[in-house]
């Protein structure tokens, strides 16, 4: 295909009342939803291999929500106008690369899969996740490059034109961006098993780096003076909507603003996990210190033959610099 079929002038209601079909996304979403819900039902019956009880409802809501956004992004009015307006394609880029994979990762599907597998299957899954390939893909620098590089490669190489004129390229745009986003959000959230657990603060820093790259890309699109895929969009000869330059200006702003808005929930999720993890670590350290103090007090009382509470003992018997003078 070279150009999409003629469509009516774009209108806001098209986001709800105009629909098309993306067969690959629709079929894959249906399969993933069915498999996920089957795992949730099995978890409800068995209580889980770890004995943690039913699967958390918010994880199910996040995963199914991610699939719904994926279908809506490619099959609603966004899908109908995706090869007509630059701004429409820009919104798709942000949703497919960031929002959809973030929601899917929040659903912890790999943990649910591991729970449904037999012991041998879980062992093979752990082996695969601890392999060299997984370690490389989940390394913070690699996963960050996987997130920030695709938009630059898309807009400033022939790839963007392929997504507009080639059916396979268009389908790849809908699928590959989600996969790339998952490779970023999976190791950053660390809700599912990962090859290597990195400090959550690294994820916070990487989020700010990603914001900088999004802003840089948007500025180039806004003020670079070059219209992306100009021959293709000019060939549409549409007599409605913004000019090509104005369309790209709107798309650049969409990448900048929408990208930051989508990244905000992810940053909040990371900060929440930092707080929860910090409280758990503090409680564990406090418990260990209390146990060590009780053991030391018991050992000291046994060594001196004293049954009185530690507070009734002379302080110099517990001072490491003085106790040897008094037989402590």
Q: What is the pTM of this model?
A: 0.78
pLDDT band at 83 (very low <50, low <70, confident <90, very high): very high
What separation in angstroms does the CA of 201 have from each of 46, 116, 183, 186, 188? 35, 31, 18, 15, 10
Q: What are the boundaries of each domain within the chain?
A: 15-271, 286-326
Contact 79, 22 (CB under 8 A): yes
Q: What is the pLDDT of residues 9-32, one digit of tens each?
A: 888 888 888 899 999 999 999 999
Report whether pLDDT(187) > 90.
no
| For residues 145-152, average pLDDT | 88
Q: Which band of pLDDT confidence, cut at 50, 70 and 90, is reported for residue 328?
A: low
Confidence of residue 317 (pLDDT cuts 50, 70, 90): low
Residue 196 structure tokens: 């290597």
pLDDT tens digits for range 202-259: 777 777 777 788 889 999 999 888 899 999 999 988 889 899 999 999 999 999 888 8
pLDDT band with cut points at 50, 70 and 90 for residue 1:
very low
């Amino acid at each position: 295909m070279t150009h999409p079929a003629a469509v009516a002038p774009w209108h806001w209601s098209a986001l709800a009342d105009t629909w098309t079909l993306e067969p690959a996304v629709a079929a894959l979403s249906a399969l993933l939803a069915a498999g996920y819900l089957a795992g949730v039902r099995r978890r409800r019956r068995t209580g889980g291999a770890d004995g943690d009880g039913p699967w958390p409802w918010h994880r199910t809501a996040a995963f199914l929500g991610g699939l719904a956004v994926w279908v809506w992004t490619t099959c609603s009015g966004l899908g109908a106008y995706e090869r007509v307006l630059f701004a429409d394609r820009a919104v798709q880029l942000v949703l497919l690369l960031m929002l959809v994979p973030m929601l899917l990762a929040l659903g912890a599907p790999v943990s649910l899969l591991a729970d449904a597998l037999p012991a041998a299957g879980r062992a093979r899954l752990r082996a695969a996740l601890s392999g060299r390939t997984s370690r490389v893909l989940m390394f913070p620098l690699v996963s960050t490059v996987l997130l920030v590089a695709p938009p630059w490669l898309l807009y400033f190489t022939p790839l963007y034109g392929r997504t507009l004129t080639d059916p396979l390229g268009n389908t790849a745009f809908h699928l590959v961006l989600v996969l790339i986003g998952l490779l970023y959000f999976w190791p950053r959230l660390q809700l599912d098993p990962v090859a290597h657990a990195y400090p959550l603060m690294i994820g916070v820093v990487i989020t700010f780096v990603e914001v900088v790259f999004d802003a840089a890309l948007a500025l180039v699109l806004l003020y670079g003076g070059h219209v992306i895929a100009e021959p293709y969009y000019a060939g549409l000869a549409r007599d409605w909507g913004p000019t090509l330059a104005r369309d790209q200006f709107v798309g650049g702003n969409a990448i900048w603003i929408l990208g930051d808005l989508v990244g905000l929930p992810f940053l909040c999720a990371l900060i929440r996990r930092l707080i929860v993890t910090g409280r758990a670590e503090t409680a564990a350290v406090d418990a260990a210190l209390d146990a060590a103090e009780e053991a030391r007090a018991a050992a000291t009382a046994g060594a001196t033959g004293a049954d009185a509470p530690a507070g009734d003992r002379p302080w110099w018997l517990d001072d490491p610099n003085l106790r040897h003078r008094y037989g402590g």
